[in-house]
Structure 1
Amino acid sequence: MRVATWRGGSEITIDTVPDPRPAPGQLLLKVHSSGICGTDIHKTQGLFPGTPPEVLGHEFVGPVVEVGEGVDSALLGKNIACTLNPACGECQGCLTWSAMHCEREPRLAGGFAEYVLVDKRQIHIIPDSLDPEIAAMTEPAACVISTLNMLNEIEADCDALVVGGGLLGLLTVGVLKLRGAGRVILSEPNPARLAMGRQFGADVLNNPKQDDLPGLINDLTGGYGVKIGVEAVGVPQLVADVSKMIRPRGNLVLVGVSPQGSALPVDLYDFHYKEITMSGAFGAGDAFGEALDTLPDLNFTGVVSGRFPLEQTADALEISAGGNGVKYMIAPHD
């Protein structure tokens, strides 16, 4: 089969490797769609840990084409979405943190390929009513839900601010509205992304290049600030900016992933005085199944900005890094 191998930097090669065969407890998926994640891009830019050579792509879905011993053959032909690792459910990482942090089972990628092997403990069956391309966005949706789950119950009708209108930001807007948030403000400099905020439920749209965001928040909240402030880009200065627009005893939520080694340029006295709680979540946590159930409640019209064959993986990564679209897919069999 063919795979797209990251060789370091921006170099991607298309290689032929032996066809995989499922071992006991494994399934072989034919990749239908594999989403390009920001972490895939950040690895090629040296902003996120990664060791080449590596086949990137962890947001993949596809039908089961072969099963190993101990796997129900009724799964053949079913479209499947997968968590990043099987998770043993017994180690301290699983018991006190989340399935994403299992100490015994490594995280898996490899979705930029024609086929991929997965463990039966990773799989979630995609309903026939859900487009597999949309199901490929389960993992980023789970990242958002895992983060918001740390807030426990969202205060009814509260004000919330989301900075960043990429996929994670749009999903955050949608989930906040589903959970009862009142007025949700989306701030995004790209006009097309900003406009898409409406279909996810944003009540107020702000282009920070044209209108003053702190002034807008001040006017909307009477100078008090929002209950929930979300940074969905991964830029430390934006995190600091959002923190200044949060009301006392509000929540600063990190959905965007800042580069490793980043420092947070904030006045800690302000955090202490206003009693702000900051939270983040690494990956999907334990929310993958919940995310898959949530996708049908969101409007994904126009979210996928392009599908690329495996041979154009390098081009797809470069275009995705440009920030003009929302979500790009690698489609090895189109």
Structure 2
Amino acid sequence: MDTLTTGLTRAAVWRGGSRIDIVEMPIPAPGPGETIVRIRLAMVCGSDLHTVTGRRQSPCPSVLGHESVGEVVAVGDGATAAVGDRVVWSVTVACGECDRCIRGLTAKCRHVRKVGHESFDSGWALSGGYAEHIVLPRGTAVVAVPEGLADAVVAPAACATATVMAAVERAGDLSGLRVLVGGAGMLGMTAAAVCADRGAHVLIADRNRSRLEMSARFGAEPDDGGAVDTILDFTGATEFIRDALSRLEIAGTLVLAGSVTPGPVLDVDPEQVVRRWWTITGVHNYEPRHLQEAVDFLTRTAEQYPWSGLVTAPVPLAEIESALQPTPDGKLRVAVAP
């Protein structure tokens, strides 16, 4: 077992509402299969904003943050990473033994734990990215980051990019198809680039005009209101989904990925699903292969798309409260550098 030479770290502990305390605490020695990572850069995801504004239920107190990149500084026996590796890691931590894990559905493990979503008072206090260090338990997928890939480019892989990879996988072969992406946030912008890369004609819908203009640099065109073969929704807005569904072609596919909070019910006519051969499916979380695909895609397209331009200059950990605000115009992620 490799161990740390320093014994203390700092973490931003969310206490509810907008209250966050910077706490100094010991860095635990890694247990079997555990990996200790020094956080280099973390991103503020939309779900973190939902948590602090009360739109999303989450354990409190906790260390938030689940899109991060860091350097391995200690490993326990049986860990897959090595000290010195620069890595990203999965949001979910799976047991690997339940029926769902055995079926390959680790994202829905019956005993799943989630990075940035666990109680600070549990046995896993350093579970989030808004800290100088994080403990990654056995069952966390860890992927090495190639040299030269910027932290600001790769950090979103752990949530936005990997989730998009899972959604696009559910959509199937997109070559030559008209794909409508709902929402031009980080996931939607990433989805546009992935779909364009796979040969689709990509349309994107969003109320924010500056984001629509930005999407042109990621392979998309503004929605033209015409028929589409595939819909990838990251808005979670029932009204948008209903309208988009009315435009779905024969044998079309609707992938829902943004409906992660309660909302109005979507009425779907089963006869239309049958007669039009529609596929309607959902994606929540992702599998380890999607995280690897995310890193590979960002590596291959690092010069093709202006990924780093979507991210703000880093905010220090001491100013984390200022980071937990809506993203400024022209940016899709606020960065935190512990």
Identify the TM-score tier after normalising by the shorter chain.
0.7 to 0.9
Which is worse superposed, 90-99 or 130-139?
A: 90-99
Structure 2 residue 57 is matched with structure 1 residue 49: yes
What pairs up with 1:77-226 in 2 under 5 angstroms?
77-96=84-103, 98-109=105-116, 110-119=128-137, 121=139, 122-139=141-158, 140-154=160-174, 156-181=175-200, 183-202=201-220, 204-206=221-223, 216-218=224-226, 225-226=227-228
Q: Is the 8 A contact 1:43 1:50 kept in 2?
A: yes
What is the CA–CA distance in structure 1 between the aligned matches of 2:277 and 2:111, rounded to whole Å?
37
Q: Match for residue 335 of structure 2?
A: 329
What is the CA–CA distance in structure 2 between the aligned matches of 1:44 and 1:131, rounded to whole Å?
28
Structure 2 residue 13 is matched with structure 1 residue 5: yes
Identity %: 30
What is the CA–CA distance in structure 2 between the aligned matches of 1:194 and 1:116, rounded to whole Å?
36
Q: Match for residue 6 of structure 2?
A: none
Q: Match for residue 294 of structure 1?
A: 297
Shift of 1:190: 2.3
Give the alignment partner of residue 278 of structure 1, picking from 266, 277, 280.
280
After superposition, give the CA deviation of every residue in 1:142-194 in whole Å (9 maximum; x if it has no partner): 1011112122323x31111112111100111111112221x211222323322
Q: Is the 8 A contact 1:3 1:16 kept in 2?
A: yes
Alpha-carbon distance change, 193 to 138 in structure 1, aligned in 2, over 3 angstroms: same
Give ranges in structure 1 of 5+ residues lacking alignment: 207-215, 219-224
What is the CA–CA distance in structure 2 between the aligned matches of 1:66 and 1:90, rounded to whole Å?
26
Alpha-carbon distance change, 309 to 164 in structure 1, aligned in 2, over 3 angstroms: same
Give the alignment partner of residue 33 of structure 2, picking from 25, 39, 48.
25
Q: Match for residue 5 of structure 2?
A: none
Q: Is the 8 A contact 2:65 2:115 kept in 1?
A: no
Tell me the TM-score normalized by structure 2: 0.84
Shift of 1:104: 3.9
Q: Is the 8 A contact 1:162 1:231 kept in 2?
A: yes
Alpha-carbon distance change, 235 to 312 in structure 1, aligned in 2, over 3 angstroms: farther
Q: Is the 8 A contact 1:47 1:260 kept in 2?
A: no
Shift of 1:97: 5.3
Give ranges in structure 2 of 5+ residues lacking alignment: 1-8, 117-127
Tell me the TM-score normalized by structure 1: 0.85
Give the alignment partner of residue 257 of structure 1, picking from 256, 259, 267.
259
Shift of 1:7: 1.6
Q: Match for residue 231 of structure 1?
A: 233
Name the amino acid aligned to 1:124.
V
SS of the equivalent of 1:4 reads: strand
Q: Is the 8 A contact 1:236 1:265 kept in 2?
A: no
SS of the equivalent of 1:252 reads: strand
Q: Is the 8 A contact 2:49 2:326 kept in 1?
A: no
Alpha-carbon distance change, 62 to 71 in structure 1, aligned in 2, over 3 angstroms: same
Shift of 1:274: 3.2
Shift of 1:261: 5.4
After superposition, give the CA deviation of every residue in 1:58-97 in whole Å (9 maximum; x if it has no partner): 111111122233447x822210111123434332121335
Shift of 1:272: 4.7
